[in-house]
Amino acid sequence: MKLPAFVTDLTLPPLEYQCKLRQWSQEMRTSSPIIWDEDSANWIVFRYEDVVRVQSDYATFSSEGTVPGGNGSSIVEMDPPRHKQMRSLITLAFSARTVVEMTPQIEEIVDTLLESLCARDEIDWMSDFANPLPVIVIARMLGLPHEEWPTYKRWTDAIINMTSESEVANLGLREHFARAIDERYRNPGGTDILSRLIAAEVDGKGLEYEDVMGFCFTLLIAGNITTTNVLGNAMLCFDEHPEELTRLQRHPELLPTAVEEILRYMGPFRAGPNGLIEGRIAQTDLRLYDHIVRKGDHVQVNRLSANFDERHFHEPERFDCGRTPNRHQSFGQGIHFCIGAPLARLEIKLALGKLLSKFQHIHILHKEPLRQTPSLLIFGPQRVPLSLQPA
Ligand code: HEM
């Protein structure tokens, strides 16, 4: 079948897109829990239990060869045993403890960015805050000169959206990473994540130069577009549910559950044909509902649909900052579960917590309709004009 036209319609206002998406995926969960998208040649599954199964059963649903144009060097396109080896090495460098240790650094970046918003009648939440924060954080973690964040952001967007600049972007990033990596080979022993990656060993084996390079790409790209768009989507959630913003302002202790609810309710990926982050390849013929999935077929999970599955969530259509339990699928499931989840959670929590305590009135200005960010992979707002009044 063909996907409905709205799925790739970037001109729809973001909240309208989300409404249509929720409605469509609800219909699919009920009547067609798996469909064949003839344009992208992908199966798509919609129910929570199937989304979990496709991601967890790596023997049946492989990640190898899923990244369009990929050369196998990224952890997202690896299966065990190579995936396990790589993941163990990166976990050594990128543990939850390393992330907690980064709290003061991230706080400092958040404070500086928020400070620059004071005394202005109108700001753009995206270009003034949500774009710079994650890219500055990840650039610092990778030992790149963070003042160059606008370039890294532009290059990331070019690579993700496969624009005409993507080749230049790839070469440019490679050059910047090579400089940072070479310096650490010359001066080992540092405590930053790149030094730890280079030093990490499992069973006496460390990472090859190209593996380190591959990680730098994955971390820089995965580490900024997603978090940026979740920060933007947080504002869309509050725009749609101002009463929940007021609730959160009165009860800041709800912040951790509010962050999870934003991730569930409005994750940063589109529902479209984007094999990059949501795809697997069937390793055998199998039956799913009334369909036979053949060995070699691409199977995609629709995480947004899983996050609204009424079989799993109580009143899924309700945006509830106090929701618990909330085992959403926005960070994935199984062996590829997002390695950056602790970092992303920390960044979003610090950003929203400090925003809410610094500004009493946070008001989205609707002088003109909000627009979606121009990407067929990522979902978020392009600009969010805000008026802020200090507390
Ligand atoms: C809110 C922000 C984020 C979201 C929603 C998100 C989402 C995801 C998802 C859904 C996956 C699983 C992909 C799959 O199953 O094929 C994933 C994997 C991954 N993410 Fe994130 N991510 C976020 C932030 C980050 C950050 C900040 C970093 C790093 C700095 C990061 C690094 C990675 C890496 C390296 C993987 C691959 C893990 C593996 O294959 O074992 N992510 N992410």
* pLDDT, position 276: 42
* pLDDT, position 298: 93
Which token pair is 93? Answer: 């460098």
Q: What average pLDDT does this structure show over 25-54?
A: 95
Band of pLDDT at residue 275, cut at 50, 70 and 90? very low
What domains does the chain contain, in order, with CATH numbers? 5-390 (1.10.630.10)
Q: What average pLDDT does this structure show over 340-353?
A: 97
* pLDDT, position 272: 62
CA-nearest residue, atom 31 of ligand 1:
340
For residues 370, 160, 265 and 43, what is the CA-based torsion angle, rounded to 10 degrees? 120
CA-nearest residue, atom 39 of ligand 1:
336
Find the 388 Cα to ligand 1 centroid distance in Å. 31
Spatial distance between the Cα atoms of 258 and 349, rounded to a whole number of angstroms: 9
Mean of per-residue pLDDT scores for the chain: 93
pLDDT (tens digit, 9 = 90+) per residue, 356-381?
Answer: 999 999 999 999 999 999 988 899 99
For residues 158, 277, 1 and 16, what is the CA-based torsion angle, rounded to 10 degrees? -70
For residue 387, give the 3-state DSSP assignment: strand
Rounded to the nearest 10 degrees, the angle between the axes of helix 132-141 and helix 149-160 is 100
Spatial distance between the Cα atoms of 114 and 355, rounded to a whole number of angstroms: 7
How much of the chain, in percent, has pLDDT values that exceed 90?
76
Q: Are strands 298-301 and 42-45 parallel, antiparallel or unpaired?
A: parallel
Per-residue pLDDT for 15 more than 50?
yes
Band of pLDDT at residue 191, cut at 50, 70 and 90? confident
Per-residue pLDDT for 8 more than 90?
no
Q: Which of 54, 57, 6 is nearest to 27 (CA)?
A: 6
Q: What average pLDDT does this structure show over 215-244?
A: 95
| Pocket residues: Cβ below 6 A from ligand 1 | 55, 63, 75-76, 87, 138, 218-219, 222-223, 226-227, 230, 267-268, 277, 330-332, 336, 338-340, 343-344
Spatial distance between the Cα atoms of 196 and 190, rounded to a whole number of angstroms: 7
Write the CA distances from 263 to 178, 234, 334, integer angstroms. 34, 8, 18
Which token pair is 351? Answer: 């950003």
How would you label 179-216 residue by residue, b for 16+ Cβ within 10 Å and e otherwise?
ebbeebeeeeeeeebbbbbbbbeeeeeebeeebbbbbb
Spatial distance between the Cα atoms of 260 and 258, rounded to a whole number of angstroms: 5
Band of pLDDT at residue 74, cut at 50, 70 and 90? confident
- Asked if 387 and 122 touch (Cβ cutoff 8 Å), the reply is yes
* pLDDT, position 193: 87
Spatial distance between the Cα atoms of 221 and 227, rounded to a whole number of angstroms: 10
Q: Give the residue carrying structure tokens 């190579």.
A: 82
Chain Cα centroid distance, residue 12: 21
Residue 367 φ then ψ, to 5°: -65, -35
Band of pLDDT at residue 277, cut at 50, 70 and 90? low
pLDDT (tens digit, 9 = 90+) per residue, 324-335?
Answer: 999 999 999 999
Spatial distance between the Cα atoms of 115 and 98, rounded to a whole number of angstroms: 26
Ligand 1 pocket, mutate which of 64, 212, 226 (most atoms under 8 A from CB): 226
Q: Which of the residue ranges 46-50, 156-160, 252-256, 306-310 would you say has the lowest mean pLDDT? A: 156-160
pLDDT (tens digit, 9 = 90+) per residue, 84-114?
Answer: 999 998 888 788 888 898 999 999 999 999 9
